[in-house]
Amino acid sequence: MPGITVSPITPSRPGLGALIDNVDLENLSDADFEALRHALYTHNVVCVKSQAHLTPKGQAELTRRFDPEAMSYGHGKTIDAKRSILHPDLKTVPHQPEVQVIGNGFVPEYEGLENITLKHPHHRTFHTTVIPEDKDLDFTRFYRWHIDAALYGGLQPPLVTSLLAVKVPKGRTQTLLYDDGSNDTLQVPLGTTAFVSGYTMFDNLSAEQKEFVLTSKVEYAPHPYVWISTAKSRPDGLGMVSEGKEVPVDELPPVEKATDVQIQPMAWQNPVTGRFALQIHPSVVRKIHLRDGTVIDDLAKVREMVHDLQRPGIAPPLVYAHDWEEGDCVLFNNHGVLHSVVGAFDKDEVRLFRQCNLAASRPPLAPEVQA
Ligand SMILES: [Fe+2]
């Protein structure tokens, strides 16, 4: 059998998306794994075709191979908190708790889960404005641009997330609206996952902005996904609208240790290429720490600053919208890209995916100036 092959999906933009062929993820040699890891950190989103046979155990082992010392599922037990916005979207595979089932519609039985109803997240539950009902099957939005990360307690952002497409409804495309006053739109396959490169986002900043990003840090809210559960997002999915609707900090679950509140660098370094990605989770950021020790804690201002840095990086030509086929296993560099759920399904359109990521064994690689 010929060896593993790697082909950039868009040759003019090799840093975001590659197809991998001639590899079996259930039986991966050390040499093939090294080639896969190199491809992942070069192209940041890689799709391995025809992996429908990959078991939940195989998926968890593959994901752990990128970070052998990694701990449990990336969100730990924090999604158990009933108020968390992540709670309704995930069902855990009983015999492989690092692996979550996500999707849409009714599934009678899957991997020990019975009679489950999955719900594809819809922007009407999260955005401050919505696309009218009669246009909902033709038009869509980015639901929420994010990094897969608990951003709280001892759980460091997972290095890699794997997504396996088990069942994919096909046939339609939708027009994605940014609805942010820009008139930007994007034609996307139904239920795509959208990715943008944090490296491109960083590279396109001005020299002054780069200096700011390399020397500043962001502080995330305590219990971040409960904190924003009562607030609404901008229509572009890139951060929240500031209306004072967040759960007041004194009504959140208690903060056990001061260090549970995470402060992360704004720029995260790629371990293979050495490039910097602008990696900020825009929905749950709360404060900015400057190099001189000043803390910017005016929430509306913090969000505007972050949006100004990130918005150019989600412009339509910079988005890779993956066109899912059954058996696709997509792996992405969660320290180098932002991603978003997209699309609106009918309730009887059945979609079934498996997701796995693991809280990392190390924090993101910070710029040396911060060391
Ligand atoms: Fe995600």
Tens digit of each residue's pLDDT (9 = 90 or more) over 174-206: 999 999 999 999 999 999 999 999 999 999 999
299 occurs within a structural domain: yes
- Structural domain range at position 288: 5-359
Is position 366 within any domain?
A: no
**Token duo for residue 138:** 């033709």
> What's the CA-to-centroid distance between 279 and ligand 1, angstroms?
14
370 in a structural domain: no
| Å from CA of 97 to ligand 1 middle | 17
DSSP character at residue 187: E
Length of the chain: 371
pLDDT value, residue 137: 86
CATH number of the domain enclosing 55: 3.60.130.10
Tokens of 220: 């995330």
Q: What is the band of 354 on the pLDDT scale with cuts at 50, 70, 90?
A: very high
pLDDT digits (tens, 9 = 90+) for 117-135: 999 989 999 999 999 999 9
- Over its C-alpha atoms, the chain yields an Rg (Å, rounded) of 20
In a domain, 371, yes or no: no
What is the per-residue burial (b if ≥16 Cβ within 10 Å, else e) of 298-334?
ebeebbebbbebbbebbeeebbbbbbbeebbbbbbbb
What total number of domains does the chain contain?
Answer: 1
367 is a domain residue: no
Specify if 278 maps to a domain.
yes
- Global pTM value: 0.96
Euclidean distance between CA atoms 243 and 254, whole angstroms = 24
Ligand 1 center to 281 CA (angstroms):
11
Cα-to-centroid distance, 149 and ligand 1 (Å):
8
Distance (angstroms) between ligand 1 centre and the Cα of 180 equals: 22
Rounded distance from Cα 294 to ligand 1 centre (Å): 32
Q: Are 278 and 266 in contact (CB under 8 A)?
A: yes
CA of 124 to the centre of ligand 1 (A): 18
